[in-house]
Structure 1
């Protein structure tokens, strides 16, 4: 017979563990303003890593407490059902109830090793439907639009207070005024009935963003003020962004999570969803750093999609990987990646090494050039939706990760990533020379920017890069990445002897950039474009110069919007 007092006590412990974790999370997030104002960029990166790790630490702590209170594996099904009921009651009026549900799921998942995906025991489905609006005034500032554009901008800059002064506020106000008048004509400006900005400042990298919208009777325009600081720790407005495309890229899946302090994340996400209707809820939660809850929302969205579709999981288009088996559901916008049981002879790495590389990317500044990945265990697919050819391949290459039941294919460990068009397929299919040139230019920029972020991409075959709908090239194959200092960039010896390379002494960490032109991109016409635009990639001098930069610990500033949007080229 279940003990109601014990259920109530454990439910309270779990919620208390979540609240403690969220306070820790919020404390790190609130520190973003001070780090931004003082130019503490290394501390900013350290804070990103710390905030990602606190969830697992908090989870381990609370599970240990539960084990001290309860013989968990001696409890019957009714105990766990009652525990969820007690926990649900505690969530009434909780401002982060949806995040607390995910934390509860994580506790149950850890106890049962993710073997019991059952809505009676955990929140596979949410406990209630969130309705946006009741707390909107707690997360949004509204500004008077009856006066001049200048007066509105002044009011905004007074409302969002920083502990440092402006480099030249009058200049910046003028820039903002001109930029907005270029976007909206006189009639549109006269029709504006509301300007709304989210109360939290969104910090990431070396920038801070005020994010909101301009509301008119027939349309709504994004309104984003991008702020940066100079070397004297003075503030300046770098750009005023009013294009949805720019806002979408700022919230892109290849960028680090924002630091935006709020006690009402659901309202923040609901507002952002109105600004970015093409972004899914799980993507927006992840962009705010709630990546665990983002995974929960993704799974719910995935289950819903399965119910409303009938296509089958199949092998993803593109060249087969040597380390990962990759498949997709054609109607859904992600790919699924499983580490193979054995790697090709050319891959001198282990399974744990691959996992470490993916963890490294998770906690690094992805600078808009490395896709975010999400790790799942015991992920379940309906067996009748899996093509026979895919199942055969998974059993042949990833058998240790696959468990079959009569109705399900259970994948013990996999990664999920946003779907992109592989760059090699894009270049095969595209006929517009301008788009081809842009894609190859993007490829070179992607490699260079990743290197400046202190990551050597390793395997730079263009099949390991994807291209987004915005034409941006993103890297997504991480099994050979490492820090820049871990490679020795060498020049090939100059000799008329055709066998000189055979006698060359090569250490495991030696890299010969002059050979890059032979494998980054194959087709001669594409290779010539890459050499024209980014020929320095094929020289050891270039890579050594980047090593010298990264060795100083200097943090680069990767602006997520085009240079033409910036008010001044500093």
Structure 2
């Protein structure tokens, strides 16, 4: 079967920009009073000259930013494209380092371009006419640019860095998108279409003829048989006969020790996800681990609690549009974030947030921002809008006496999680500066609590409440509330099993959760338990796991010398969950968590640099080999 292919090209602005003066003093825009036709013409000529000078420096300013973005994206793409070789060579530690490096690229690129701009222009000396002209010139450079939406965010970041995020103005930056993108116009550039007129096996063979790997398959015949059976188990004969297309995204999605081919099966009445999950065998051969056709499995693969994918594409908007057709319940910004474009994801989130506020601002529909349900945190003030799916977290001015940490330490912990393999158990968070909320939508109790706990981060105007620094995070049901409300013993047992697995998997990812009170864990709609309180996390090597004395002396514990990094796992049962019935279930399912031996062994494993592989789909879907 023949397939159309396209070779993505890096886009460099085609138009050459004439060099402008190195500096631009503020241009006066005051009107000149003319007393004669001659002076009037002179005034017009001067105004025209001023405008030309303004346009020239604005054009140069815009060109430098788009050049900086293109350089940054090439750097981003180079690291992302390297995921294939790292996967083939099983360079798992290098894969983890690549995650950190790719995250660091954006800030480094931003720093470089802002320094360069200050050499050419004095940005803070320019007035509104300059910024409007600069944005207009930049918009022209985005025509036909395959990453125009990411380039808009980069421009916003430059303006944010220059003005320390104090100006959020659509005249100066792209608060709203510059254009409406119609999904599908570049679809042929991001998908392969496969012939379905033959047998299922022939179609699968065609897929592996297209997606080639340097590493040989362990036994491709077994993989093809497994895939054939799995698809026939999902689709009966009539449905299989009705399949008119199988479309697969060209980028391979790499993460951890797995690679995913992501696509869909197209039938007249429905479309199903079609995901081929691949891993390596113990002896370094390639194998197909599972064939997934259920939407909720794809949703978990693209979970907010997992590390960002390495998926190389020059057309991110088209890839995201395709994914959203498969996962319509996921927000557009979540999919951008899952692909590693987390900065643009933040931009799209803010636009989505503004649209939601606008849609719920009527007299009969407006809900209020209020304190989030659950126990109030010792480090963070957490609030939400009931109709919206995130929580907002602000670092308090003062911490409880039990918290021997600083504000900067808390920020550092959140940065650590950003660059860590979250193994599906730690919620992704996103940092914002000078975030505005409509004051008339802030509940009075929340407003008072913010004033009491976060005054240094709070500015209030007549119309807005502005938080100088905060995080957003996906909304979940706090585990302590879940256990209070749930009556089904099966669901309770399942969620406590999830709690134990969550703690263990985080630890195997080389992160000690620190404060493991059940209020610091959330339950997703699918019943998965996720950790979301990061102020006390650290690497496993930074803790000393010790046993309590067992010499029969009743005063031994009272006189025990305890260092700041000492941890006594035998005490975990007293505070992870409250009620005895819950403790008993947790001890039955994961009693080893309460032993020093378990933590010392886990510490030994992580010290060896062993990279874990936790598949995001149920074990029963994995092929037996």
- Indicate the TM-score class for this superposition, using the shorter chain for normalisation: over 0.9
Which residue does 1:403 correspond to in 2? 459
User: What is the aligned counterpart of 2:581 among 494, 502, 525?
Assistant: 525
CA shift for structure 1 position 496:
3.4
User: What is the aligned counterpart of 1:28 among 79, 91, 94?
Assistant: 79
Which residue does 2:324 correspond to in 1? 273
- Gapped regions of structure 2 (runs ≥ 5): 1-26, 28-50, 361-365
Q: State whether structure 2 residue 352 is matched by structure 1 residue 301.
A: yes
Match of 1:500, SS state, is coil
Which residue does 2:159 correspond to in 1? 108
Map 1:16-165; keep pairs closer than 5 Å. 16-165=67-216
Which residue does 1:365 correspond to in 2? 421
Q: Distance in 1 between matches of 2:125 and 2:186?
A: 42
CA shift for structure 1 position 499:
2.2
Q: Distance in 2 between matches of 1:223 and 1:79?
A: 50
Q: Distance in 1 between matches of 2:552 and 2:466?
A: 57
Which sits farther off after the overlay, 232-241 or 525-534?
A: 232-241
Q: Distance in 2 between matches of 1:72 and 1:445?
A: 52
CA shift for structure 1 position 498:
2.7
User: What is the aligned counterpart of 2:338 among 287, 294, 309?
Assistant: 287
Map 1:482-561; keep pairs closer than 5 Å. 482-561=538-617
1:127-175 CA-to-partner distances (Å, cap 9, x unmatched) read 0011011110000110001000010001011110111110000000000
Q: State whether structure 2 residue 524 is matched by structure 1 residue 473.
A: no
Q: Distance in 1 between matches of 2:222 and 2:448?
A: 64
Match of 2:94, SS state, is helix
Which residue does 2:473 correspond to in 1? 417
CA shift for structure 1 position 497:
3.1
- Gapped regions of structure 1 (runs ≥ 5): none
Q: Distance in 2 between matches of 1:233 and 1:436?
A: 40
Q: State whether structure 2 residue 236 is matched by structure 1 residue 180.
A: no
Match of 1:410, SS state, is strand
Q: Distance in 1 between matches of 2:221 and 2:424?
A: 32
Determine which structure has more spread, i.e. the larger CA radius of gyration: 2
Which residue does 1:350 correspond to in 2? 406
1:421-478 CA-to-partner distances (Å, cap 9, x unmatched) read 0000001100110000000000000000000000000000000000101110000000
Q: Distance in 1 between matches of 2:534 and 2:150?
A: 29
User: What is the aligned counterpart of 1:332 among 361, 380, 388?
Assistant: 388
Which residue does 1:209 correspond to in 2? 260
Match of 2:278, SS state, is strand
Q: Distance in 2 between matches of 1:75 and 1:150?
A: 64
Under a length normalisation based on structure 2, what TM-score does the superposition of the two structures give? 0.91
Q: Distance in 1 between matches of 2:197 and 2:496?
A: 48
Which residue does 1:464 correspond to in 2? 520
User: What is the aligned counterpart of 1:8 among 45, 59, 66?
Assistant: 59
CA shift for structure 1 position 72:
1.4
Match of 2:119, SS state, is helix
Q: Distance in 2 between matches of 1:156 and 1:551?
A: 40
Which residue does 1:440 correspond to in 2? 496
CA shift for structure 1 position 500:
1.6
Which residue does 1:256 correspond to in 2? 307
CA shift for structure 1 position 73:
1.6
Which residue does 1:247 correspond to in 2? 298
Q: State whether structure 2 residue 253 is matched by structure 1 residue 197.
A: no
Q: Distance in 1 between matches of 2:526 and 2:275?
A: 19
Match of 1:503, SS state, is coil
CA shift for structure 1 position 255:
0.3
Q: Distance in 2 between matches of 1:378 and 1:498?
A: 54
Match of 2:547, SS state, is coil
Q: Distance in 2 between matches of 1:69 and 1:406?
A: 38
Match of 1:346, SS state, is coil
Q: Distance in 1 between matches of 2:545 and 2:126?
A: 59
1:288-337 CA-to-partner distances (Å, cap 9, x unmatched) read 00000000000000000000111110000000000000000000000000
Q: Distance in 2 between matches of 1:303 and 1:224?
A: 34
Q: Distance in 1 between matches of 2:184 and 2:391?
A: 34
Match of 2:533, SS state, is coil
Q: Distance in 2 between matches of 1:502 and 1:217?
A: 72
Q: Distance in 2 between matches of 1:454 and 1:542?
A: 14
1:44-66 CA-to-partner distances (Å, cap 9, x unmatched) read 00000000010000001001111
Match of 1:412, SS state, is strand
1:199-257 CA-to-partner distances (Å, cap 9, x unmatched) read 00000000000000001111111100001112332110000001101000000000000
Aligned residue pair count: 569
Match of 1:12, SS state, is helix
Under a length normalisation based on structure 1, what TM-score does the superposition of the two structures give? 0.99
Q: Distance in 2 between matches of 1:415 and 1:97?
A: 26
Q: State whether structure 2 residue 262 is matched by structure 1 residue 235.
A: no
Q: Distance in 1 between matches of 2:125 and 2:410?
A: 37
